[in-house]
Structure 1
Amino acid sequence: MKPNHASTQPIGIFDSGIGGLTVAHAIVRYLPKENIIYFGDTAHLPYGDKSTAAIQAYSVKIAHMLLQQECKLILIACNSASAAAYELVKEYIGSKALVTNVIDPTVRLLKEKYASRHIGLIGTRQTVNSHIYKKKIDELNLNIRLSSHATNLLASAIEEFGDHQVLDSLLRVYLSHPNLRNIDALVLACTHYPVIKNKILEQYVSSNHNTIDIIDSSDIVAQAVKKQLETHNLLNANGVCSKHFYVSDYTESFAANARLFFGEEITLEHYPLWD
């Protein structure tokens, strides 16, 4: 597939809220000349407790908007939306732009580094119940044992409190679950979770008395996006990394977190998905 877009066109990134900012920030680090358009669907967050049909409707609507912005690549920076809507979005976009998700690059890392290991995974109920990671990992046939646990309140708590000690008790309950014992690594299968990555590791060690690898998809996905753009000769060699942020509902927490992530003043443009 070869999109009809010049290399100077932007990368479109979307998530239900601030979670995708972890991926967007990594992309800015790895691809400092790329122009970024970010859509935070704050009116419908979190996606993790929404139905598959609802997530698909939101995702296609956002993808349409990003196509109107002439994005050369659309990144679904949300595990729940990647699980529920990636194939549908890809079909809807067709050859108009590249489409990628946050699940496949993480599975590729597991393939390369964790054969015959016991892997834990935490994510939203939507992501865990889709069994998409298990299906993809089983297809590798590398004797990787996956133990998943839905940590459904985490994304909303991170949206509300960020990296605050109020999350400690929540993490203590989640990370002491029997499914997550005796694992070699823990996949953070929600793009909100890297915001509290260090806290997750500390609480896991405290609850289980052993250390593990934390698999944060942000850098992994950014590297995959870079490789995809290189493959299609779409890297921007002359850009200045302009950043444009849209939200479906204005929230001060999103604005504050965007400023924190990028260390600069951020202007949010209100773009309701449905009038």
Structure 2
Amino acid sequence: MNNKPIGIFDSGIGGLTVAKAIKEALPNERIIYFGDTAHLPYGDKSKESIRAYSKRITGFLLSKGCKAIVIACNTASAHAYSELRKFYPKVPIINVVNPTVNYCAEKFDAGKVAVMATKGTIKSRIYPRKIKKKNPALEVPQVAAPLLVPMIEEGYFNNNISQTIINSYLSAKNLQDIQALILGCTHYPLIKSEVEHFFQGDVEVIDSASVVAEFTKKVLKKEGLEADKPEGKDQFIVSDYTSSFEETSKLFFGKSVHLVEERIWD
């Protein structure tokens, strides 16, 4: 058994939905969360910059004694995962894309599995490329939903305004007759119920945070890295602190979070 913490990072605080899911699936585990709020959003950064940020953050989390790293960001998963695997070959590194891809490729024989995500993730085509590589029989239509992240961060969800915006995106013609929809952004678990309401139970809505949490559980078990009891406090770190980030973080983690600033770029 290994009571060292799990390191989780994101470009901001949206990845706290993944941290929350991991804590629910693995209640004995301690986490250290790092939100790179100094550089958010990653979606408009170059691949080279994202890789550089991700390497630095991973090195920082490993210096804190983390036994595994979870990339709780779709953009960093798309652009930095392979690089991090090469750079840190002895450390289990988990991203938010691959577990969801594997889940879809194995569960659905044919038909349409759609993706709703930010412009950056949609542009990368990470989900269609990976899903079709594993299961060529699947169609993977995509829809970019740029208004959803700022909407959610402002607390506009589970109301008439948010439902109208969500309905507008989900009414896209290429999403007709889909079997499942991947919520391809770590903010989106907060609107899962509204997405499900639109589809009225006819479409499986796949929350990548919960899929990643279950995958993390399997990896830790396979590597013999499971904690046998809760030990120590979780830590929540950002690269640039503002009180608004701390307030918004409650939305994503489900309870009050104390953010500490660590300027690892200085």
Q: Same fold (TM over 0.5)?
A: yes
Q: Which residue of structure 2 lines up, in the alignment, with residue 54 of structure 1?
A: 49
Deviation string for 1:73-114 (max 9, x for gaps)? 00001111101111112222232x211101111111112211
Displacement of 1:31 after TM fit? 0.7
Q: Which amino acid aligns with 2:228?
A: A
Tell whether 2:215 aligns with 1:224. yes
Q: Are the counterparts in 2 of residues 28 and 241 from structure 1 also a CA contact under 8 Å?
A: no
With over 3 angstroms needed to count, the CA separation of the structure-2 counterparts of 1:118 and 1:238, relative to structure 1, is: same
- Specify which of 147, 154, 157 is matched with residue 151 of structure 2: 157
Tell whether 2:125 aligns with 1:115. no
Q: Are the counterparts in 1 of residues 9 and 71 from structure 2 also a CA contact under 8 Å?
A: yes
Moved more, 261-270 or 217-226: 261-270
Secondary structure in 2 matching 1:127: helix
Secondary structure in 2 matching 1:236: coil
- Specify which of 179, 188, 192 is matched with residue 174 of structure 2: 179
Q: Which residue of structure 2 lines up, in the alignment, with residue 199 of structure 1?
A: 194
Displacement of 1:39 after TM fit? 0.7
Deviation string for 1:189-243 (max 9, x for gaps)? 11111111112233x33xxx88311000111111110110111100010223621
Q: Which residue of structure 2 lines up, in the alignment, with residue 14 of structure 1?
A: 9
Q: What's the % identity of the aligned pairs?
A: 44
Tell whether 2:70 aligns with 1:79. no
Q: Which residue of structure 1 lines up, in the alignment, with residue 24 of structure 2?
A: 29
In the alignment, the residues of structure 2 paired with residue 164 and residue 251 of structure 1 have an alpha-carbon distance, to the nearest angstrom, of 25
Q: Are the counterparts in 1 of residues 187 and 252 from structure 2 also a CA contact under 8 Å?
A: no
In the alignment, the residues of structure 1 paired with residue 201 and residue 213 of structure 2 have an alpha-carbon distance, to the nearest angstrom, of 29
In the alignment, the residues of structure 2 paired with residue 248 and residue 112 of structure 1 have an alpha-carbon distance, to the nearest angstrom, of 38
Secondary structure in 1 matching 2:140: strand
**TM-score normalized with structure 2 length:** 0.91
Deviation string for 1:50-82 (max 9, x for gaps)? 322222222112111111111110000111110
Secondary structure in 2 matching 1:134: helix
In the alignment, the residues of structure 1 paired with residue 156 and residue 77 of structure 2 have an alpha-carbon distance, to the nearest angstrom, of 23
Q: Which residue of structure 1 lines up, in the alignment, with residue 224 of structure 2?
A: 233
Q: Which residue of structure 2 lines up, in the alignment, with residue 63 of structure 1?
A: 58
Within 5 A, what are the aligned runs for 1:250-261? 250-261=241-252
Q: Are the counterparts in 1 of residues 7 and 69 from structure 2 also a CA contact under 8 Å?
A: yes
Q: Which residue of structure 2 lines up, in the alignment, with residue 139 of structure 1?
A: 133
Moved more, 112-121 or 161-170: 161-170
In the alignment, the residues of structure 2 paired with residue 241 and residue 115 of structure 1 have an alpha-carbon distance, to the nearest angstrom, of 44
- Specify which of 21, 35, 38 is matched with residue 43 of structure 1: 38
Q: Which amino acid aligns with 1:251?
A: T
Displacement of 1:262 after TM fit? 4.8
In the alignment, the residues of structure 2 paired with residue 162 and residue 146 of structure 1 have an alpha-carbon distance, to the nearest angstrom, of 28
Aligned length in residues: 265
In the alignment, the residues of structure 2 paired with residue 266 and residue 200 of structure 1 have an alpha-carbon distance, to the nearest angstrom, of 27
In the alignment, the residues of structure 2 paired with residue 99 and residue 249 of structure 1 have an alpha-carbon distance, to the nearest angstrom, of 25
**TM-score normalized with structure 1 length:** 0.88
